[in-house]
Structure 1
Amino acid sequence: MSPSAAAVVQGLALAALLVLSPAGAARQARRPNVVLILTDDQDVYLGGMTPLKKTNALIGEMGITFLNAYVPSALCCPSRASILTGKYAHNHHVVNNTLEGNCSSKLWQKIQEPHTFPALLKTMCGYQTFFAGKYLNEYGAEDAGGVGHVPPGWSFWYALEKNSKYYNYTLSVNGKARRHGENYSVDYLTDVLANMSLDFLEYKSNFEPFFMMVSTPAPHSPWTAAPQYMNSFQNVSAPRNSNFNIHGKNKHWLIRQAKTPMTNSSIQFLDNAFRKRWQTLLSVDDLIEKLVKKLELNGELDNTYIFYTSDNGFHTGQFSLPIDKRQLYEFDIKVPLLVRGPGIKPNQTNKMLVANIDLGPTILDIAGYDLNKTQMDGMSLLPLLRGDKNITWRSDFLVEYQGEGYNSTDPTCPGLGPGVTHCFPDCVCEDSYNNTYACVRTLSASWDLQYCEFDDKEVFVEVYNLTADPHQINNIAKTIDQEILQKMNYRLMMLQSCAGATCRTPGVFDPG
């Protein structure tokens, strides 16, 4: 017997003795496994879940779909940091997708990574933990340790260097670089993640509960579909809803600068992007099916929670903005959230206001960890998942974003001057340094409201009554009751400085 095989047998024998003891058996019986599937840039507002027939059937119909799930920051790196830490951006300090914006920086690694929920699951709860896919946009940067850096809390680490790709990428395999090319059968990233996940489920220890986080590139650009799906959805185009290809009147200047109507070439471009995004999601749907089947084959499905969500939404032509995220509107901040697992009744929907800062507290709660020991801003969803009665829940949360922009002029659009970024050839720009805003998103028995302030010279304000105006066309900041404006302004200031429990205090429209 080889030394490595002998070590495996010895380890399994010791684990068997532990689990056969009364304490070990009881621990096994009560601690569920958790799987978190995170997609990249998948909206719900524009029908982003439509291609995922298997996912809807295997998770949504077998569990609960949250109809009002949001992200506090509609951009990849700040949103992912919120998932990992359970904190708003002003508390984890990741403000954009750059190292300078604290995305996977040395400071992030030192201050935040040791306290993420996976680190607590592994060190405090005895979970074996598995990560595969996109981590943070600047992960693997040479100035931040390269792919040799493996964050604390991960037993098995298969992380993508930098941003989403489908071919020609590098993975950190437990700190060692593995280069992939462009051969579909061995390199297509969504399928590689599926196969790695199945291998983990095949060869992991059966004597510890596990947590898996699988973070797919889809449906992020460059929208490269698997070969068998490249001709799917040929008759599909971006939805022509009431805020499509219209001027964003009474909105922040960045939205007003978009050219209306859009050119035919811009519309063709975004329609093509919309189709390709859906095509890439078909491979995610296959991944979900494979995972669920493997869990069922292993006899572990009934004791496993499966969460499915995205890091932010997306827009394709809303207010004549071609394609991107990072804006304050529903299409960018609202995401899918589907959950199945022990004690969750099938075919449920839930209208409570939930956010991605709740995922960490929820998963720690499932593992039996005392949430009072954390500094997280979010709330555990476990009472909602179980269907507990008479729950006191939030009526609002904070949305915040720090605009990206540079002192230099964008070479694509020199006439616009310095400060703009992410510009398209027809000089419609998706971001600027003063596209910096904070909002209170409220959903209560009497109000469905969004109040936003921009940190610019105008101190521009946008307010939307989503009951009357679900597509946020009419900014009512100048006509809404001034008393409500004052209350929302005060609530916004409070949330912008909150931390931990103070982020969960009653909102403006809470009873009492």
Structure 2
Amino acid sequence: MPESLPGFDVWLANDGGSYISPSFQVKNIAGLPDGHVQFTSDASNYSTAIIGNASLAWIKEVAGKGQPFFAYIAPKAAHEPFNPAPWYRDHWDPSWPSQEPRPQNWNCSAESRQNHHGNIASQPMITEEAAEIVTGVFKNRWRTLMSVDDLIADVFSALETQGVLDNTYIFFSSDHGFQLGQFNILMDKRHTYEWDTKIHLVARGPGIEAGSSFAAPSTQVDIAPTILGLAGLEAPETMDGKSVVPFLLSSRSEVLASLLPSTRQHLQGLGDLTDYAAKWRQEVFIEYYYNDYNSKCVTHKECGSQRNDYPNSDSNCVDLASNSKCWCNHNTAQEPDCYPTETSANNFAALRTFTVEGANHLLYAEFQPGDQAESNIDFKKADFTELFDVQNDPWEMNNLANDPAFVPVRTKLHKKLHAWLACSGSSCA
């Protein structure tokens, strides 16, 4: 991290780091020296706890001074290797499911996957050993979130104690979806499908009515202009995304009258809000470029090296009491006991539509093989197309790209997709 970052006064940051014995780059955190800090494997140094404690101390300090503030709190959970805090290692509530959801595309046949791109069509069947690891990953991911729940509860408590809860906006979201066995990929999140791309957004604050929701399609690129708008600041022309503030807030006049001055200023700057909503995008653009094979192996000879010493270090195992039932990452082509997350065929530009003349709720994707690090991939040489009717085929088993009935829609979506590829900043819809 640099010595200074415009707009940021304090940070505790890393590149994702570890759950156990984590390290951070530190700036202006009370009780810690600036620079690189390596924590020991003491149970109290679980990464979510460190991030939470530092965040709470800072919030209490700035709120106690009456300062406006912005805190971005991002725990590692629930990322690989899915290691919960030692005190939650074996926790499982009796009301929770005994295994991950297993819809029709979980461990589905090779025949059912043939009209899908890249490694989806060639993925092996999930073995009994692999299925056991998938279920263990599912459970340990939930267990990592127990500490996130604790952090969220403590943030709310701190805001309430400082008397600022009712004039603070809180957003809770994630950076991607996840898959556990869908299309026979054991775990990860690199594909265009719903379970990888859809994420939640839960918000609370002045003018947001409890239990309300909005249907306008939005993505993470809209978060930054939304936060700037709530603070009464104008988003730069070069910033992707648009403010969702008009969709978040109640339209009742008595609610609008009680908003913070900065928020009212932002709404006024957007002009006629009915017109603003009418011009909102009707589809979400998704773009991804191949990273690596990242095969997940379950009995491979290299997996033994991942049986690390939890709770003293991170472990790629689902039985953390004995550091057993492990997986490993193997960055080569498919092997008999490995399940590749992706191949170099997995470069895609896609549209998730909500309203299209002739059909609603479609996923349209074009794929071009290659490695962006070696040559430019512009999707002008796409060699595979997928089109799914998400409303009637939620698990995306039936690729309609070559269905004659969908040719007009496909032609329209192709044109829209390449318009999105060419846009940038405020020129995007």
Q: If the length of structure 1 is used for normalisation, what is the TM-score?
A: 0.64
Secondary structure of 2:342's counterpart equals strand
User: Could you give the per-residue CA deviations for residues 275-303 of structure 1, whole angstroms, max 9, x where no partner exists?
Assistant: 00000001100100000011011110011
Tell me how far 1:233 sits from its aligned partner.
Answer: 2.6
Secondary structure of 1:434's counterpart equals coil
Q: Matched residues in 2 for 1:167 and 1:397: separation?
A: 37
Tell me how far 1:428 sits from its aligned partner.
Answer: 2.0
1:439 match: 350
Tell me how far 1:223 sits from its aligned partner.
Answer: 1.3
Between stretches 228-237 and 274-283, larger displacement belongs to 228-237
Contact 1:168-1:179 within 8 A present in 2 as well: yes
Contact 2:366-2:382 within 8 A present in 1 as well: no
1:238 aligns with 2:96: no
Contact 1:164-1:221 within 8 A present in 2 as well: no
1:464 aligns with 2:326: no
Q: Cα 1:244–1:285, aligned 2, differ >3 Å: closer, same or farther? A: same
2:9 match: 155
1:497 match: 422
Between stretches 203-212 and 330-339, larger displacement belongs to 203-212
Q: Matched residues in 2 for 1:349 and 1:202: separation?
A: 30
Aligned length: 345
User: Could you give the per-residue CA deviations for residues 288-322 of structure 1, whole angstroms, max 9, x where no partner exists?
Assistant: 00000110111100110000000111100001111
1:394 aligns with 2:248: no
Q: Matched residues in 2 for 1:339 and 1:333: separation?
A: 19
Tell me how far 1:254 sits from its aligned partner.
Answer: 1.3
2:318 match: none
Structure 1 counterpart of 2:43, from 167, 184, 201: 184
Q: Map 1:184-263; keep pairs closer than 5 Å.
A: 184-185=43-44, 187-204=45-62, 206-233=65-92, 236-247=98-109, 248-260=113-125, 262-263=126-127
Contact 2:214-2:248 within 8 A present in 1 as well: no
Q: Matched residues in 1 for 2:338 and 2:154: separation?
A: 44
The one-letter amino acid paired with 2:219 is A
Identity %: 33
User: Could you give the per-residue CA deviations for residues 169-209 of structure 1, whole angstroms, max 9, x where no partner exists?
Assistant: 21111151111111112x11111111111111222262431
User: Could you give the per-residue CA deviations for residues 8-46 of structure 1, whole angstroms, max 9, x where no partner exists?
Assistant: xxxxxxxxxxxxxxxxxxxxxxxxxxxxxxxxxxxxxxx
Tell me how far 1:148 sits from its aligned partner.
Answer: 5.1
Tell me how far 1:420 sits from its aligned partner.
Answer: 6.7
Secondary structure of 1:182's counterpart equals coil
CA RMSD of aligned residues (A): 2.3
Q: Cα 1:238–1:424, aligned 2, differ >3 Å: closer, same or farther? A: farther
Q: Matched residues in 1 for 2:119 and 2:406: separation?
A: 26
Q: Cα 1:291–1:252, aligned 2, differ >3 Å: closer, same or farther? A: same
Secondary structure of 2:387's counterpart equals strand
Structure 1: runs of 5 or more not aligned: 1-146, 414-418, 505-512
User: Could you give the per-residue CA deviations for residues 447-485 of structure 1, whole angstroms, max 9, x where no partner exists?
Assistant: 101110001376100001111111111111011421211
The one-letter amino acid paired with 1:366 is L
Tell me how far 1:256 sits from its aligned partner.
Answer: 0.9
Secondary structure of 2:191's counterpart equals coil
1:488 aligns with 2:352: no
2:339 match: 428
Q: Map 1:84-233; keep pairs closer than 5 Å.
A: 147=1, 150-160=4-14, 162-174=15-27, 175-185=34-44, 187-204=45-62, 206-233=65-92
Q: Map 1:296-315; keep pairs closer than 5 Å.
A: 296-315=160-179
Structure 2 counterpart of 1:351, from 204, 215, 234: 215
Bigger relative contact order, structure 1 or 2 (CA pairs below 8 A, ≥6 apart): 1
Contact 2:78-2:144 within 8 A present in 1 as well: yes
Secondary structure of 2:107's counterpart equals coil
Structure 2: runs of 5 or more not aligned: 28-33, 252-272, 302-329, 370-380
Contact 1:375-1:500 within 8 A present in 2 as well: yes
Q: Cα 1:337–1:421, aligned 2, differ >3 Å: closer, same or farther? A: farther
Contact 1:157-1:173 within 8 A present in 2 as well: yes
Structure 1 counterpart of 2:135, from 264, 271, 276: 271
1:280 aligns with 2:138: no
Tell me how far 1:501 sits from its aligned partner.
Answer: 2.5
Q: Matched residues in 2 for 1:443 and 1:364: separation?
A: 27
Q: Matched residues in 2 for 1:423 and 1:214: separation?
A: 37
Secondary structure of 1:194's counterpart equals helix
Secondary structure of 2:70's counterpart equals strand
Q: If the length of structure 2 is used for normalisation, what is the TM-score?
A: 0.76
1:453 aligns with 2:307: no
Contact 1:421-1:430 within 8 A present in 2 as well: no
Q: Matched residues in 1 for 2:99 and 2:349: separation?
A: 32
Q: Map 1:65-84; keep pairs closer than 5 Å.
A: none
Tell me how far 1:385 sits from its aligned partner.
Answer: 0.8
1:290 aligns with 2:144: no
Secondary structure of 1:215's counterpart equals coil
Q: Matched residues in 2 for 1:343 and 1:384: separation?
A: 11
Q: Matched residues in 2 for 1:424 and 1:178: separation?
A: 39
Q: Map 1:327-406; keep pairs closer than 5 Å.
A: 327-371=191-235, 373-388=236-251, 390=274, 391-392=277-278, 393-405=280-292
Q: Matched residues in 1 for 2:153 and 2:21: separation?
A: 26
Contact 1:405-1:432 within 8 A present in 2 as well: yes
Q: Cα 1:249–1:232, aligned 2, differ >3 Å: closer, same or farther? A: farther
Tell me how far 1:425 sits from its aligned partner.
Answer: 6.5
Tell me how far 1:421 sits from its aligned partner.
Answer: 4.8
Contact 2:19-2:46 within 8 A present in 1 as well: yes
Q: Matched residues in 2 for 1:424 and 1:300: separation?
A: 55
